Structure 1
Amino acid sequence: MKILVVSDTHGHDENLMCALQRELPIDALIHCGDLEGSEEYIPEAVECPCYFVRGNNDFFSDLPKEEEFTLGNYRILVTHGHLYGVSMSTCVLEEEARSRQVQVVMFGHTHYPYLEEMEDLTVLNPGSLSYPRQPGRKPSYLVMEIDEQGKAHYEHRYLEKA
């Protein structure tokens, strides 16, 4: 199973379309917020389940602030992260994820790619496809692949600068 995880596209979807062309076919698409209106047409570009959450810039969106669902054997929590103070630390988000007994928590907001795999929890941020902030500032996303044995593997992937 191949899952594309993106965030912080801010209505500028050219790089999202490039990532989709590169990664299709996918079994699910997860967007960690700050879509700024793109939630209307993204599902038309893919033929798989899509999971979207509202970011701090999705002002007039009816999207949920969080989503919890299962893919493979993994219980996943998706949030934009701003309500958990992720710009300072992921500690509050990790505590919330553990209290909900999820195995994977995904967030955006910081525009920095992040991946920490602990024994009981994986915490990840795909970075931003539109406004990356990490050194080198390459647009980024994450691919989560669940192998035939049911184990998840994670990889950040990068596009050339927009």
Structure 2
Amino acid sequence: MRILVVSDTHKSHRNLERALEETGHIDMMIHLGDVEGKEDYIEALADCPVHIVSGNNDFFSQLPWEEEFFIGDHHVFITHGHGYFVGMGEERVKEEARGRGADIVMYGHTHMPSLTIEPDLVTLNPGSIAYPRQRGRKPSYIVMQMDPDGKINYEIRYLE
């Protein structure tokens, strides 16, 4: 199973289209917020099951603030992250994920990619595919691949 994880598109989809093309077939897309009313377009573009949460710029959105679901045997918790003050660190969102029994937590908001793998919890942020803020400012996203045994590999990718 191949999963594309993105965040913070802010109505700018050219790089999302490029990431989908470069990634090839995906079985699921996860968008961690700040779609700014373009969720229908993103769902149509992905052409697979899509999970989208609301971000701090998704005013008047009907999208959920958070979502929990399973990928295989993995309990996943997704949020945009601003409600957990992720700009100041991952501690609060990790605490919330552990409290919910999740073993994978995903968030956006910071526009900077990160991946932390601990024995009990994987914490990831794909950065922003539209407006990156990390050094070098390359648009970023994450590709997750789950093998037949349920083991997931994570790769942060950058667009040139």
Q: TM-score, normalised by structure 2?
A: 0.98
Corresponding residue SS for 2:87: coil
AA at the equivalent of 1:129: I
Q: Measure, in 2, the Cα distance between the counterparts of 1:125 and 1:4.
A: 12
Alpha-carbon offset, residue 24 of structure 1: 2.3
Give 1:50's aligned amino acid: V
Instruction: Report the CA distance between 1:47 and its aligned residue.
Output: 2.4
Q: Percent identity between the aligned chains?
A: 56
**Poorly superposed stretches of 4+, deviation over 6 Å:** none
Paired with 1:124 and 1:22, the residues of 2 have a C-alpha distance of 20
Matched, 1:111 2:111: yes
The answer to whether residue 77 in structure 2 is matched with residue 101 in structure 1 is no
Paired residue for 2:18? 18
Aligned to 1:62: 62
What is the Cα deviation at residue 89 of structure 1? 1.1
Output the CA distance in 1 between the equivalents of 2:47 and 2:56: 27
1:11-46 deviation per Cα after TM superposition (whole angstroms, max 9, x unaligned):
001000000111121010000000112201111122
TM-score (normalised: structure 1): 0.97
Per the alignment, residue 9 of structure 1 pairs with 9
Long gaps (5+) in structure 1: none
Structure 2 equivalent of residue 134 of structure 1: 134
Rounded Cα–Cα distance in structure 1 between residues aligned with 2:17 and 2:38: 12
Which residue of structure 2 aligns with residue 78 of structure 1? 78
Is 2:32 the counterpart of 1:32?
Answer: yes
Task: Deviation per CA, 1:58-85: give whole Å up to 9, x if none.
Answer: 0121100001000111110010000001
Deviation at 1:127, TM superposition (A): 0.4
| CA distance in structure 1 between the partners assigned to 2:38 and 2:6 by the alignment | 12
Question: How many residues are matched?
Answer: 160
| Structure 2: gaps of 5 or more residues | none
SS of 2:108 mapped into structure 1? coil
Partner of 2:158: 158
Inter-partner Cα distance in structure 2 for 1:37 and 1:20: 20
Q: What secondary structure is seen at the aligned counterpart in 1 of 2:88?
A: coil
1:105 aligned counterpart, secondary structure: strand
- SS of the equivalent of 1:41 reads helix
Deviates more, 1:3-12 or 1:41-50: 41-50
Q: What's the CA shift for 1:139?
A: 0.2
